Chain A
Amino acid sequence: MAPPVSTPKSASPSQPSGKSEVTDLKLQLRHLAGSRAPGADDAKRDLFKRVISCMTVGIDVSPAFSEMVMCSATSDVVLKKMCYLYVGNYARCNPDLALLTINFLQKDCHDQDPTIRGLALRSLCSLRVQNLVEYLVAPLAAGLKDHSSYVRTVAAIGVLKLYHISATMCHDSDFPAALKALMLSDPDAQVVANCLYSLLEIWTQDAANSDEAAREIEALYGKSIIYYLLNRIKDFSEWAQCLVLDLVSKYIPSDNNEIFDMMNLLEDRLQHANGAVVLATIKVFLHLTMSMTDVHQQVYERIKAPLLTLVGAGSPEQSYAVLCHLHLLVMRAPMLFSSDYKHFYCQFSDPSYVKKLKLEMLTAIANESNTYEIVTELCEYAGNVDVPIAQESIRAVGKIALQQYDVNAIVDRLLQFLEMEKDYVTAETLVLVKDLLRKYPQWSHDCIAVVGNISSNSIQEPKAKAALIWMLGEYSQDMMDAPYVLESLVENWEEEHSPEVRLHLLTAVMKCFFKRAPETQKALGAALAAGLADNNQDVHDRALFYYRLLQYDVAVAERVVNPPKQAVSVFADTQSSEIKDRIFDEFNSLSVVYQKPSYLFTDKEHRGPFEFSEDLSNLAIGGDSGDDVIHSAQRYEENDKDLLLSTSDKEENGGPTHNGSSTYSAPSDVNSSTSLVSSSTTQPAAFAIDDLLGLGVLDTPVLPPPPALSLNAKPVLDPGTFQKKWGQLTVSSSQESTLSIQGVASLTAPQSLIKHMQNNSIQCIASGGQPPNYKFFFFAQKEGSSSFFLVECIVNTASAKAQIKIKADDASASDAFASLFQSALSNFGSS
């Protein structure tokens, strides 16, 4: 039979003609299947190439499966390879047809040529068809004992593939043990590496439910195996070296001599051409020396050069990843890098995410010796075409100013920025000058002189405007025209869209009033009037609050609004040191690139705001905002009843004012706005909100039958006090209660019960647990008194039982409270 006519040009892979192409191919393949003509192999080869092109482009060529298999009986290696590729791709969707290929693959596993044996074995393992597993075992076992190392490497990985298809089959055939033996004895480094790779994966997965696997894993991290691998490290391929180094980084050496031996052995790895190896070595070094402070410092010195080279010499992708690691190190030990600051200068061609990292590093390493240079460089960037980077660099200058003692020069620079008359530069600088003044009030004279010249009309950015207004209020005594500037701002109240600016304006006018009352009186009146009419709740409430304060006593008002302030010494850090340490432990991993510990982005479940904590002292960590402990009890209120809550004033002098509305009782002559919350209106309103959210379905707001005892709707208790009280008081009442079926059903997460109890004026302070067991700590306060009730409630949803322990300041009321609590609990789900 003559080879088929060459196919028309339309068959080019870039323009797939779809179905007809496939049938055409099928037909031609069938023609060729039995052919033994001299040119048949070449024709087949062309056809196979076309099939694979189609497959790659995305056309489903699986209908040709049986024809392909028929054609595969050949001695031509190229054809075999292409056929393996095809089979590997389609076997999974055609398990029945895949059976056809087993025969020739098994035959190829006994071929003369080790390349073919290896390829066949790899393809066989890559079929990944469940019911063909039995055919795998024998070739694999043979493969592991093959005299060609190529076949053994393939077989070692093949075992892993088998494990993923059927773990039991893999264990039944005793492959892990065989792999281990091979790993410890094989002369070929690649075989050893592949065995190690497979074993690590198999045992790590098994370790969860098998002690034996866990022990094996332990053994892998043990001295003998680590030493065995380390001694051969130079034989391994670069990728295998990464694997071994990763293993070594988990090994804990017994004494310092061992550490030094290992480091000496590995030192030359730092000069490896492969960046991955270098980084893995660095990780080993850092981990080994964790406990030896001085050596740890030396390690930093040693790894500096390789890292800096990697950043500069690699591809852009590589250099970003390395830069992230460098960033981490710089943040940990800024002093060590302080002489290398020039390396972190931004290049024009750097992408902006790289520039951002570099700016952060420059900020961190600035110290007495290099501040001048760094700030000069940063000032260059302020003229950058890239606006975000220009802003970022101004911010960096400000941060350096906040870190340093020698602020003089920097303040000058910042003030120069103000003279550049670029909107975004001015805006950014104003915010910084404000922060700077909070830390170094002594600079106020220089700054105020310049800030005073800035026209408030030219600034649009709310944050900057707020900063300017803050300064106007704070330094109104030094700025001649402060009252008038404020007055004109108040006149334009309507045009001010940002509530933040309006809030600041209110406060600034107040402050100005205390200092220069006659000049400001008019502005204050206008501001308060505008504030009261404002439709933003926060602004309205703050205006109301100020109004009442002033009515009550001007002196008290001044004490509350404008108390003498202490200079801020340290601004809060955004990322806790605990998290930084965690990231450091995960050096050389994606965590560093993301700047988050891995559990934050790999565990999907980790998002819950509450974690179970037996010990109440851990509460702050469980919550999402550690700096807000005092508010933690109110957090749910704030979330749910945002509209109803009076503003808890977040002014810098926060403390004494933060539940202002209850401290100062409402005078009757003030317009009685509906939003003014008194405790009596809270409960129905809260139900209404819940109704809107579809949480509690209820026709009429049926309150739990109010017994003699009534509870304060919004008690405040911080976790510390709670814990103290819990420790001091004795259990006044201990009961067991049953939950309704509906209640159990709706208790899928602690939050639902917390909400429900809140509607009954019982607040939750901590909760946690996994189904079916939940644990809650509640508290409530008797209306009109200071006596608290504390409750520990353990709910088991499986048995629908709740165990309640109540402690009370006032033991006499505890029974009444207990019944109230129980009825609230039994109502859960039905209301």
Chain B
Amino acid sequence: MVEKQMMGHHVDRSICAWFWHQYNHHRNNDQMSVVTSPTHYLFPLIRHGIIFLACTQLELPPLLPIEFLSRFADILSDYLCAGSGAGATLNEDIVKDNFVIVYEVLDEMMDNGFPLTTEPNLLKDIVLPPNLVTKVLHAVTGNSSPSVGPTLPHAAASTVPWRSTHPKTTTNEVYVNLVEQLDASVNWDGNLRRCQVYGEIQVNSSLPGFPDLTLSFTNPSLLNDVRFHPCVRFRPWESSQVLSFVPPDGHFKLMTYRVKELKKIPIYVKPQLTSDSGNCRISALVGVRNDPGKTIDSIIVEFQLPPCITSADLTSNHGTVDILADKTCRWSIGQIPKDKLPSLSGNLVLEPGLDRLHVAPTFQVRFKIMGIAMSGLQIDKLDVKNMPANPYKGFRAQTQAGDYEFRS
């Protein structure tokens, strides 16, 4: 399914067909982030199974279209999924049902190939999202305008472009959520090759008026590199490592950061492979190493069976083992039980002619730990100024595995 908007000179639709052909052709291999077609350079971006494609014939900064597309994807899912309940992700049907919204949003976001308004809050002033309220209103009164705001964005005139001057929120609360992603790779001999954390501070603010927030950490020196939302003032950060900002309304990413060279990993996998005359014994143990103090949830261990394996027979003493169609073996553990260590064992039959297994599969682990940030970053306090009443403040933290792998 295709859809698009033409800017400047005419881009023929056949480019999509061309891309689609290429895409299917290379599906099993890897996709490049810039594709050269006979006439254009294409930037594909894949989110939730929907492909966003930008074309250009000119030289340009490559991140510009890529960033724009990912922003567009975010905004689109923000728009279209908010109305259809929490947890919904963007999919083909939702887009199909909302062609008009998609066009309207795209129209506001880009004019003649130059990005225009990309702040979600501002966009929502111009193009109203199809939320439940307007749907109900529409059904009851029959004459509301479901997708166009009656007025212009006020923020266009305000000094902080990300915040409209008249947010309509009635609640008075702010939530801060630390989300960390732990990347680690461990060698076959158990050596930790590298370990680092990418973290995000997500804030959901619904505060009236013009609040001024200050967020401070107990251990900011931990952070290796930080990137901020435009609302963060740089001076206070430079001088005393505190985040001072006037928040946009709603959900936004306040800061992203990186912590490198961590020494501890919460969970380990001990894989062992021994092969002998066409068979390969495989066993793997999973355990907690440096107990983070919170339960580790939804543990999944995955590994790719090498192509030279004809059949596999795997069992585990805890959780379920599935072999998926693409020869990926998925072992869903869930939580680690108190009384025993989960272990996986089994036998792999090699292709005839092969004596022993030459390649070493890599075990990838996924998990989630609620309530703790593995980097050790801690929020000290959040001050809210410029507010008539003290708002409710909520804090959360969560760590999940990113590229978390064990080699065998």
For B100, list chain A residues within 8 Å (CB).
49, 52, 78, 81-82, 85
Find residues 283-318 in chain B having any chain A CB closer than 8 Å to their own CB: 304, 306-307
Given contacts A320-B33, A589-B60, contact A78 B193 (CB under 8 A): no
**Given A78-B145, A305-B224, A589-B61, 8 new contacts (CB under 8 A):** A58-B2, A77-B148, A280-B61, A315-B45, A342-B194, A343-B194, A590-B60, A590-B62
Q: How far is the CA of A204 from the CA of B286 in the complex (A)?
A: 62
For A593, list chain B residues within 8 Å (CB).
33-34, 62
Structural contact, B364 and A348, CB atoms closer than 8 A: yes
Q: How far is the CA of A239 from the CA of B112 in the complex (A)?
A: 14
Asked if B275 CB lies within 8 Å of chain A CBs, one says: no
Contact of A238 (CB < 8 Å), options: B8, B118, B187, B359: B118
For B228, list chain A residues within 8 Å (CB).
271-273
Q: How far is the CA of A168 from the CA of B146 in the complex (A)?
A: 42
Given contacts A238-B118, A345-B194, A385-B306, contact A149 B156 (CB under 8 A): yes
Interface of A is mostly: helix
Structural contact, A78 and B146, CB atoms closer than 8 A: yes
Structural contact, A237 and B66, CB atoms closer than 8 A: no
Asked if B351 CB lies within 8 Å of chain A CBs, one says: no
For B253, list chain A residues within 8 Å (CB).
273
Chain B: CB-nearest residue to A12: B96
Structural contact, A273 and B99, CB atoms closer than 8 A: no
Structural contact, B61 and A385, CB atoms closer than 8 A: no
> Please, what's the 1-or-0 string for A355-394, where 1 marks a CB less than 8 Å from any CB in chain B?
0000000000000000000000100100111000000000
For A39, list chain B residues within 8 Å (CB).
142
B13, B126, B153, B359: which has the most chain A beta carbons within 10 Å?
B359
Structural contact, B61 and A588, CB atoms closer than 8 A: yes
Asked if A41 CB lies within 8 Å of chain B CBs, one says: yes
Q: How far is the CA of A76 from the CA of B117 in the complex (A)?
A: 23
Q: How far is the CA of A723 from the CA of B128 in the complex (A)?
A: 74
Q: How far is the CA of A149 from the CA of B161 in the complex (A)?
A: 13
Q: Which of A306-314, A396-404, A475-483, A734-742 contacts B (4 or more CB under 8 A)?
A: A306-314
Asked if A194 CB lies within 8 Å of chain B CBs, one says: yes
Contact of A345 (CB < 8 Å), options: B67, B107, B114, B193: B193
Q: Which of A154-162, A491-499, A509-517, A745-753 contacts B (4 or more CB under 8 A)?
A: A154-162
Structural contact, A77 and B150, CB atoms closer than 8 A: yes
Chain A: CB-nearest residue to B61: A588
Given contacts A157-B112, A385-B359, A593-B62, contact A41 B230 (CB under 8 A): no
> Please, what's the 1-or-0 string for B40-57, where 1 marks a CB less than 8 Å from any CB in chain A?
010111000000000000
Structural contact, B33 and A312, CB atoms closer than 8 A: no
Structural contact, B33 and A309, CB atoms closer than 8 A: no
For B362, list chain A residues within 8 Å (CB).
348, 385
Given contacts A81-B148, A237-B161, contact A271 B227 (CB under 8 A): yes
Structural contact, A317 and B145, CB atoms closer than 8 A: no
Structural contact, A160 and B32, CB atoms closer than 8 A: no
> Please, what's the 1-or-0 string for B336-373, where 1 marks a CB less than 8 Å from any CB in chain A?
00000000000000000000001111101000000000
For B107, list chain A residues within 8 Å (CB).
81, 85, 122
For B212, list chain A residues within 8 Å (CB).
none
For B61, list chain A residues within 8 Å (CB).
242, 246, 276, 279-280, 588-589
Contact sample, A vs B, 19 pairs, CB 8 Å cutoff: A49-B99, A78-B147, A85-B103, A115-B148, A150-B156, A161-B112, A190-B116, A239-B68, A306-B225, A308-B225, A309-B224, A309-B257, A342-B194, A345-B194, A348-B403, A383-B359, A385-B307, A589-B59, A590-B62
Q: How far is the CA of A154 from the CA of B108 in the complex (A)?
A: 10
Chain B: CB-nearest residue to A420: B358
For B70, list chain A residues within 8 Å (CB).
315, 317-318
Chain A: CB-nearest residue to B224: A305
Structural contact, B96 and A383, CB atoms closer than 8 A: no
Asked if A197 CB lies within 8 Å of chain B CBs, one says: yes
Structural contact, A353 and B59, CB atoms closer than 8 A: no
For B148, list chain A residues within 8 Å (CB).
77-78, 81, 115
Structural contact, B30 and A237, CB atoms closer than 8 A: no
Asked if A56 CB lies within 8 Å of chain B CBs, one says: yes
Q: Which 6 pairs of residues, A with B, have the shortest CB-CB distance?
A: A351-B30, A239-B115, A305-B225, A317-B33, A276-B63, A348-B362
Q: How far is the CA of A705 from the CA of B224 in the complex (A)?
A: 82
Structural contact, A237 and B403, CB atoms closer than 8 A: no
Structural contact, A353 and B359, CB atoms closer than 8 A: no
Minimum C-beta distance from A753 to chain B (A): 32
Q: How far is the CA of A602 from the CA of B8 in the complex (A)?
A: 19
> Please, what's the 1-or-0 string for B78-102, where 1 marks a CB less than 8 Å from any CB in chain A?
0000000000000000001001100
Minimum C-beta distance from B90 to chain A (A): 15
Asked if A13 CB lies within 8 Å of chain B CBs, one says: yes
> Please, what's the 1-or-0 string for B141-157, where 1 marks a CB less than 8 Å from any CB in chain A?
01101111111110011
Asked if B171 CB lies within 8 Å of chain A CBs, one says: no
Asked if B256 CB lies within 8 Å of chain A CBs, one says: yes
Asked if A430 CB lies within 8 Å of chain B CBs, one says: no
Q: How far is the CA of A301 from the CA of B225 in the complex (A)?
A: 12
Find residues 10-33 in chain B having any chain A CB closer than 8 Å to their own CB: 10, 13, 29-33
Asked if B196 CB lies within 8 Å of chain A CBs, one says: yes
Asked if A648 CB lies within 8 Å of chain B CBs, one says: no
For B261, list chain A residues within 8 Å (CB).
342
Q: How far is the CA of A246 from the CA of B63 in the complex (A)?
A: 13
Minimum C-beta distance from A185 to chain B (A): 16
For B205, list chain A residues within 8 Å (CB).
none
Contact of B103 (CB < 8 Å), options: A52, A238, A385, A422: A52
Structural contact, B157 and A149, CB atoms closer than 8 A: yes
> Please, what's the 1-or-0 string for A589-602, where 1 marks a CB less than 8 Å from any CB in chain B?
11111100010011
For B173, list chain A residues within 8 Å (CB).
none
Structural contact, A76 and B145, CB atoms closer than 8 A: yes
For B114, list chain A residues within 8 Å (CB).
157, 194, 197, 239, 243
Structural contact, A237 and B117, CB atoms closer than 8 A: yes
For A13, list chain B residues within 8 Å (CB).
96, 99
Minimum C-beta distance from B358 to chain A (A): 5
Q: How far is the CA of A313 from the CA of B185 in the complex (A)?
A: 17
Minimum C-beta distance from A89 to chain B (A): 8
For B306, list chain A residues within 8 Å (CB).
385
Asked if A14 CB lies within 8 Å of chain B CBs, one says: yes
Structural contact, A164 and B225, CB atoms closer than 8 A: no
Q: How far is the CA of A150 from the CA of B108 in the complex (A)?
A: 11
Given contacts A342-B193, A351-B31, contact A598 B256 (CB under 8 A): no
Chain B: CB-nearest residue to A236: B161
For A122, list chain B residues within 8 Å (CB).
107, 111
Find residues 55-78 in chain A having any chain B CB closer than 8 Å to their own CB: 56-58, 76-78
Find residues 240-286 in chain A having any chain B CB closer than 8 Å to their own CB: 242-243, 246, 268, 271-276, 278-280
Asked if B276 CB lies within 8 Å of chain A CBs, one says: no
B33, B126, B157: which has the most chain A beta carbons within 10 Å?
B33
Chain A: CB-nearest residue to B364: A348
> Please, what's the 1-or-0 string for A165-193, where 1 marks a CB less than 8 Å from any CB in chain B?
00000000000000000000000111000
Q: How far is the CA of A77 from the CA of B149 in the complex (A)?
A: 9
Structural contact, A598 and B59, CB atoms closer than 8 A: yes
For A275, list chain B residues within 8 Å (CB).
63, 66-67
Q: How far is the CA of A290 from the CA of B188 in the complex (A)?
A: 45
Contact of B359 (CB < 8 Å), options: A52, A305, A352, A384: A384
Minimum C-beta distance from A159 to chain B (A): 10
Q: How far is the CA of A602 from the CA of B56 in the complex (A)?
A: 11
Asked if A114 CB lies within 8 Å of chain B CBs, one says: yes
For B142, list chain A residues within 8 Å (CB).
39, 42
Structural contact, A313 and B8, CB atoms closer than 8 A: no
Given contacts A273-B227, A273-B256, A347-B185, contact A154 B63 (CB under 8 A): no
Chain A: CB-nearest residue to B162: A237
Q: How far is the CA of A735 from the CA of B69 in the complex (A)?
A: 65
